[in-house]
Amino acid sequence: MTVEMVSGFAVATDLAYDLDGHMWILVLDSGHVRIGMDALGLETSGTLSQLSFRSGIEVVRGESFGSLEAEKFVGPLISPLSGRIVAINEAAMADPGLVERDPYGEGWLIEVEPSNLVTETAQLVGDRELIVDGFREKVRQYKLEGVIAE
Protein backbone atom coordinates (compact mmCIF):
# COMPACT_ATOMS: atom_id res chain seq x y z
CA MET A 1 0.00 0.00 0.00
CA THR A 2 1.29 3.45 -0.89
CA VAL A 3 0.51 6.09 1.71
CA GLU A 4 1.27 9.73 0.95
CA MET A 5 0.77 12.85 3.03
CA VAL A 6 -1.64 15.26 1.33
CA SER A 7 -2.15 18.62 3.05
CA GLY A 8 -1.20 17.00 6.33
CA PHE A 9 -3.37 13.90 6.00
CA ALA A 10 -2.32 10.33 5.24
CA VAL A 11 -3.86 9.10 2.00
CA ALA A 12 -3.43 5.61 0.55
CA THR A 13 -3.22 6.50 -3.10
CA ASP A 14 -3.69 2.98 -4.43
CA LEU A 15 -7.26 2.67 -3.13
CA ALA A 16 -10.45 4.06 -4.68
CA TYR A 17 -12.43 6.72 -2.82
CA ASP A 18 -15.86 8.19 -2.34
CA LEU A 19 -14.33 11.56 -1.51
CA ASP A 20 -17.56 13.14 -0.24
CA GLY A 21 -18.42 10.19 1.96
CA HIS A 22 -14.80 9.73 3.10
CA MET A 23 -14.88 6.02 2.37
CA TRP A 24 -12.29 3.91 0.55
CA ILE A 25 -12.55 0.53 -1.14
CA LEU A 26 -10.01 -2.18 -1.83
CA VAL A 27 -10.85 -5.09 -4.14
CA LEU A 28 -9.44 -8.26 -2.54
CA ASP A 29 -8.15 -11.33 -4.39
CA SER A 30 -11.33 -13.15 -3.36
CA GLY A 31 -13.39 -10.64 -5.32
CA HIS A 32 -14.82 -9.26 -2.12
CA VAL A 33 -14.34 -5.57 -1.42
CA ARG A 34 -12.98 -4.14 1.80
CA ILE A 35 -14.38 -0.77 2.88
CA GLY A 36 -12.94 1.72 5.36
CA MET A 37 -12.94 5.39 6.33
CA ASP A 38 -10.28 7.84 5.19
CA ALA A 39 -8.11 9.89 7.55
CA LEU A 40 -9.78 13.18 6.67
CA GLY A 41 -13.24 11.81 7.43
CA LEU A 42 -11.97 10.55 10.76
CA GLU A 43 -10.47 13.94 11.59
CA THR A 44 -13.75 15.73 10.90
CA SER A 45 -15.84 13.18 12.79
CA GLY A 46 -14.09 13.79 16.10
CA THR A 47 -12.87 11.03 18.37
CA LEU A 48 -14.70 7.80 17.58
CA SER A 49 -16.26 6.25 20.65
CA GLN A 50 -18.50 3.58 19.12
CA LEU A 51 -18.96 1.68 15.88
CA SER A 52 -21.56 -0.85 14.85
CA PHE A 53 -22.08 -2.74 11.61
CA ARG A 54 -25.09 -4.56 10.21
CA SER A 55 -23.66 -7.98 9.45
CA GLY A 56 -25.08 -10.25 6.76
CA ILE A 57 -27.34 -7.69 5.10
CA GLU A 58 -27.58 -6.46 1.54
CA VAL A 59 -26.32 -2.90 1.44
CA VAL A 60 -27.02 -0.36 -1.30
CA ARG A 61 -24.55 2.27 -2.45
CA GLY A 62 -25.40 5.54 -0.69
CA GLU A 63 -27.19 3.81 2.18
CA SER A 64 -26.18 2.91 5.71
CA PHE A 65 -24.20 -0.21 6.58
CA GLY A 66 -23.77 0.71 10.22
CA SER A 67 -23.31 3.62 12.54
CA LEU A 68 -20.62 5.52 14.33
CA GLU A 69 -20.62 7.71 17.40
CA ALA A 70 -18.23 10.57 17.89
CA GLU A 71 -18.66 13.58 20.16
CA LYS A 72 -22.05 12.12 21.19
CA PHE A 73 -23.25 12.30 17.57
CA VAL A 74 -24.64 9.05 16.19
CA GLY A 75 -24.52 8.98 12.42
CA PRO A 76 -24.77 6.47 9.62
CA LEU A 77 -21.82 4.89 7.85
CA ILE A 78 -22.66 5.24 4.17
CA SER A 79 -21.62 2.50 1.77
CA PRO A 80 -19.75 3.47 -1.40
CA LEU A 81 -20.80 0.16 -3.02
CA SER A 82 -23.78 -2.17 -3.20
CA GLY A 83 -23.51 -5.79 -2.16
CA ARG A 84 -23.86 -8.28 0.65
CA ILE A 85 -21.85 -7.74 3.80
CA VAL A 86 -19.70 -10.85 4.24
CA ALA A 87 -17.39 -9.69 7.05
CA ILE A 88 -17.29 -7.04 9.70
CA ASN A 89 -14.22 -5.92 11.58
CA GLU A 90 -14.95 -7.07 15.13
CA ALA A 91 -11.64 -5.62 16.32
CA ALA A 92 -12.64 -2.16 15.13
CA MET A 93 -16.02 -2.48 16.85
CA ALA A 94 -14.31 -3.43 20.10
CA ASP A 95 -11.69 -0.70 19.77
CA PRO A 96 -12.76 2.19 17.49
CA GLY A 97 -9.35 3.75 18.12
CA LEU A 98 -7.96 1.10 15.78
CA VAL A 99 -9.72 2.87 12.90
CA GLU A 100 -8.02 6.13 13.82
CA ARG A 101 -4.60 4.53 14.29
CA ASP A 102 -4.61 2.51 11.08
CA PRO A 103 -7.49 3.66 8.82
CA TYR A 104 -6.19 1.98 5.67
CA GLY A 105 -5.01 -1.24 7.28
CA GLU A 106 -6.21 -2.98 10.44
CA GLY A 107 -8.89 -0.33 10.90
CA TRP A 108 -11.04 -1.43 7.94
CA LEU A 109 -14.79 -1.59 8.60
CA ILE A 110 -16.57 -4.21 6.50
CA GLU A 111 -16.14 -6.49 3.50
CA VAL A 112 -18.86 -6.91 0.89
CA GLU A 113 -19.54 -9.25 -1.98
CA PRO A 114 -20.26 -6.53 -4.54
CA SER A 115 -23.33 -6.72 -6.76
CA ASN A 116 -22.52 -3.91 -9.17
CA LEU A 117 -18.78 -3.42 -8.91
CA VAL A 118 -17.89 -2.15 -12.37
CA THR A 119 -20.60 0.48 -12.61
CA GLU A 120 -20.24 1.70 -9.06
CA THR A 121 -16.45 1.74 -9.02
CA ALA A 122 -16.62 4.05 -12.01
CA GLN A 123 -18.30 6.57 -9.71
CA LEU A 124 -15.39 6.49 -7.28
CA VAL A 125 -12.01 8.19 -7.61
CA GLY A 126 -9.20 5.73 -8.22
CA ASP A 127 -6.58 7.68 -10.11
CA ARG A 128 -3.66 8.82 -7.98
CA GLU A 129 -3.59 12.38 -9.31
CA LEU A 130 -7.33 12.80 -8.88
CA ILE A 131 -7.19 11.36 -5.37
CA VAL A 132 -4.46 13.78 -4.34
CA ASP A 133 -6.22 16.74 -5.95
CA GLY A 134 -9.52 15.70 -4.39
CA PHE A 135 -8.10 15.46 -0.89
CA ARG A 136 -6.26 18.75 -1.29
CA GLU A 137 -9.50 20.45 -2.30
CA LYS A 138 -11.44 18.88 0.58
CA VAL A 139 -8.84 20.03 3.10
CA ARG A 140 -8.89 23.53 1.63
CA GLN A 141 -12.70 23.58 1.84
CA TYR A 142 -12.74 22.34 5.44
CA LYS A 143 -10.16 24.90 6.47
CA LEU A 144 -12.19 27.68 4.86
CA GLU A 145 -15.27 26.48 6.74
CA GLY A 146 -13.31 26.32 9.99
CA VAL A 147 -13.97 22.60 10.27
CA ILE A 148 -10.28 21.84 10.64
CA ALA A 149 -7.57 24.14 11.91
CA GLU A 150 -5.27 26.03 9.55
Partner 1 sequence: MSNGALRVIDFGPVSPLQSQTLWHAIAHGVSAGSPPTLAFMQPDAPYVSIGFHRRLDEIDGTYCRAAGLPIYRRMVGGGPVYLDDGQIFFQIILPLAMAPPVRSQAVRTLLAPAVDAFQAVGIDASIEPAGDVVVGDKKICGHGAGQIENAVVVVGNLITRFDHTAAARIVAAPDEESRAEFEALMRRYVTPTPAAATAFAAAATMAYATRLGLQPVDGQLSALETEKLAEIDEDFVDDDWVRGSERAPTGVWQVKVKAGVFLITARAGGSSVRVSIGAGRILRVSLSDRGLNGATKGTEKSLIGMSVSEASATLTRFGFGGDRLAGLLQTIEQAVRA
Which residues in this chain contact partner 1 in the complex, by CB under 8 A? 44-50, 52, 67, 69-76, 90, 93-97, 142, 145-147
Q: How far is the CB of 28 from partner 1 (least distance, A)?
A: 25
Q: How far is the CB of 90 from partner 1 (least distance, A)?
A: 8
* Measured distance CA(121)–CA(143) in Å, rounded: 29
Which residue number, 48 or 124, has a Cβ lying nearer to partner 1? 48
* Measured distance CA(9)–CA(11) in Å, rounded: 6
Which residue number, 74 or 130, has a Cβ lying nearer to partner 1? 74
Q: How far is the CB of 74 from partner 1 (least distance, A)?
A: 4
Q: How far is the CB of 129 from partner 1 (least distance, A)?
A: 25
DSSP string for 15-82: SEEETTTTEEEEE-TTS-EEEEE-HHHHHHH-SEEEEEE-TT-EE-TTSEEEEEEETTEEEEEEPSS-
Which residue number, 33 or 100, has a Cβ lying nearer to partner 1? 100
